[in-house]
Every structure is written in structure tokens, then in C-alpha cells.
Amino acid sequence: MPPVVTVESVSKSFHISRPSRTILDGISFSIHAGEFVAIMGQSGAGKSTLLHIMGGLEPPDAGRVLIDGRDIYAMGDTERSAFRRDHIGFVFQFFNLIPSLTAAENVALPLRLRGGGGPDQPARLGRRAVNERVSALMDQLSLRGLQGHGPEEISGGEQQRVALARALAAAPSLLLADEPTGNLDRQGGQEVMYLLDRLCHEQSQTTVLVTHNARVATHADRVLVVADGRIVDEVQVAHGSADADPAGFRALVERLERHAL
């Protein structure tokens, strides 16, 4: 089957200084359905910029990004916004929940905003179908009983799980997670990574994760390391290696940690 994501010769520079600074320099890769890919690199290497470009949030200076075979930057702004809403889920480091909405209302938001009616847009769901979808996601992510709570009334780990449920509400082709454990304590981070693991490896949710944490990156199937605007290393991760081959797993973590320093 064709890849879910194709990144072709993507370049991006920032012009806030003289000379301009090249962040991404002709990066290319593809990601197939159900694959879990982590992107690592030093601070300022362009990890988040690459993720934003993949998600249709920031146009590249050159190159193409195809999601489900469609060039998202060949679309107009309105079409790309609708495509992003219906096909791409986002999870951010600082949750980005709307404080005036309850947890359930935050999860339902992408479905409430769905336009429907267009030839390439999913149909708008009725109130009952939206409520059933939200309830199922909150049960799946161990959020039962928190539907009516506001973001300020729940823990950071619970807020991130609400954000993850919201990202999954529209059953996206692609889930993008930008440092999803970076604002959580150890336990909260482990809970979020357990859920991402389960989504990817049991439900075949195609996922791209940006992280500076080597141990977080080892949850992925493949790690792409970005430095000097290019992919300088690609690491395949054997699941279960932490138990089956502890020495090999430690060597893998050390290899990845060197790239993050």
C-alpha cells in the first residue's frame, strides 16, 4: 500500500537573522500505515518545525508533503484547514485544551467543527453519535468520570490524555505528537506513552512523535535523527528488547542520547 505520509525534499529557512538560518535542508522520508516513528535531535535542530510542516501548520520553502496521497500545500488555506481537522490529530507539550470547555467538550470539538457536505469531507455526526464517540474514547483512555471536569480540575497527565482523546476524535489518518511527555512527571509520561504504544501496536494508528528523550523514543518502531537540517541517523527499534536484550537496549539508548546532547 502507498505510504500514509510522504515528505519529499522539504526545506525551510528562517530569515530573522543575517544570514538566514536553514533549519531543514532537503529532508525526505515516508511513513506507512500503522508505523510509529520518533523524530529526535538537539534543541533547535528543527524537529518541531518538521512536525508542523507535516501537519499543514507551516509551509515549507521547498518540497512537498503528501498525506494519504494528497499534496497538502497544493491546497488552499480553507481546504487545507478542513483536511487537517478531519485527517490529522495533534497532541502538544502544553495540552492546548480550551479552559472554558469541559473535558468531554474538548474531546468533541473536532467533531462539532466538522463541516460536512463537501465531496472530500466526512459527514457531520449527530449529537448522539458525537456523544457515543466521546464516551468511547474517554473510556479507552481511562478518563471515565472526568467528562464534566474542566482542564484546571484534573492533573497534567489527565489533561494530556484528554488532548490525546481529542486528537483521535475524528479517527485521523495521522497522529502527530510534539513532546507529549515534556510537561509531565515520570508517571504521567509513562501513562501517555503506554497509551500511544497501545494505539500504534494494537490499533495500527500511524503516529509521529517528536521528543528529546531517548527512552521515550524507544517506544517507536523507527527513530529519525535530525541534525544540520538533514536526517543523519535512522534507528530501527526491536520491541521487547529491553527485556530480551538488556545490554543491546542500553546501547540503543546511549546511541540516541548522544544525538540529543
Residue 35: domain span = 5-101+171-260
pLDDT in tens, 15-24: 776 677 899 9
Give the per-residue pLDDT at 161. Answer: 93
Is residue 10 in a domain?
yes
Q: Is the pTM of this model over 0.75?
A: yes
CATH number of residue 16's parent domain = 3.40.50.300
What is the reported pLDDT for 3? 94
Q: What is the pLDDT of residue 18?
A: 65
Tracing cell 544540520 back to the chain, one arrives at 228
In a domain, 149, yes or no: no
Beta carbons of 225 and 41 less than 8 angstroms apart:
yes
Q: Which amino acid is it at 259?
A: H
Asked if the structure places residue 116 within a domain, the reply is no
Which positions of the chain have pLDDT values less than 70?
Answer: 17-18, 115-124, 240-242, 261
Determine the pLDDT at residue 256: 87
Report yes or no on 109 lying in a domain.
Answer: no
Q: Which residues contact 161 (CB under 8 A, 6 or more apart)?
A: 141, 142, 143, 191, 192, 195
Q: Give the pLDDT score at 207.
A: 96
Those residues whose C-beta lies under 8 Å from the C-beta of residue 226, and which sit 6 or more positions away, are 24, 27, 39, 40, 41, 45, 46, 47, 50, 232
Confirm whether 13 is domain-assigned. Answer: yes
Asked whether residue 231 is assigned to any structural domain, the reply reads yes
Query: How far apart (Å, rounded) are the C-alpha atoms in residues 111 and 203?
Result: 21
In a domain, 214, yes or no: yes
Are 252 and 218 spatial neighbours (Cβ–Cβ below 8 Å)? yes
The answer to whether residue 157 is domain-embedded is no
- Report pLDDT for 58: 94
Q: What's the structural domain count of the chain?
A: 1
